[in-house]
Copies of this chain bind each other. A is one copy, B any other.
């Protein structure tokens, strides 16, 4: 259950302490000393969770939380706020602002880790997981199933993600690099040729159910999923 956590805390001592504890719990921690930096990091790195001190120099924690909630891409990221004792107003405001939880300073490392774990696990399943249908082929992320008409298609996890991406971005040519970013994740280190292999496996799974020409090769550029045949006529 390792996770990327952004810690927003201005006091170096506390920052250090928390980071050490989270690190020991197996999490990867990125730190920010102020809200502006934090905002930038969130946009760039999209952490799994934000640990947010409520009292910050400059932009307040509340304001940052509000902004994160306002942005489409960062809306789903859970926020745990750190408050000093007795800041009753803040707690209420924070919860209403969309914080998922709060912890009152001082807190024990165990409590912090326990709360993080709970929040991460509670994360709602993505809402934008609609089924895709295209040219007689349907794919449903919720059930994790693919059908060619009535016939089920069996795919490995990677092929499934690849097909999902292609079906949600049809007709466009995607370079191998783009596919690696989108399907594998932009942090992995994998040969570009690997894409070829998975495309091949995907084609092999689609061909027996009458979808051969579906994934087309664009020489020198990449691949494209298209309901239209690659070449007119013939």
Chain A contacts to B: CB under 8 angstroms: 1, 85, 88, 91-92, 95-96, 104, 107-108, 110-111, 114-115, 117-118, 121-122, 125, 142-144, 151-152, 154, 156-157, 171-173, 175, 177-178, 180-181, 186-187, 189, 192, 218-221, 224, 226, 228, 230-232
Contact = CB atoms under 8 A, between A and B. Distances in A.
Nearest to A219: B157
B156 A172 contact: no
A114 B142 contact: no
B218 A154 contact: no
**What is the total number of copies of this protein in its complex?**
2
B152 A231 contact: yes
B231 A177 contact: no
Contact of A232 (B88, B92, B151, B180): B151
Given A88-B111, A95-B114, A118-B186, 6 more contacts: A91-B108, A95-B111, A121-B177, A122-B122, A122-B186, A154-B231
Given A88-B111, A157-B221, A219-B156, A173 B121 contact: no
Given A92-B111, A232-B151, A173 B118 contact: no
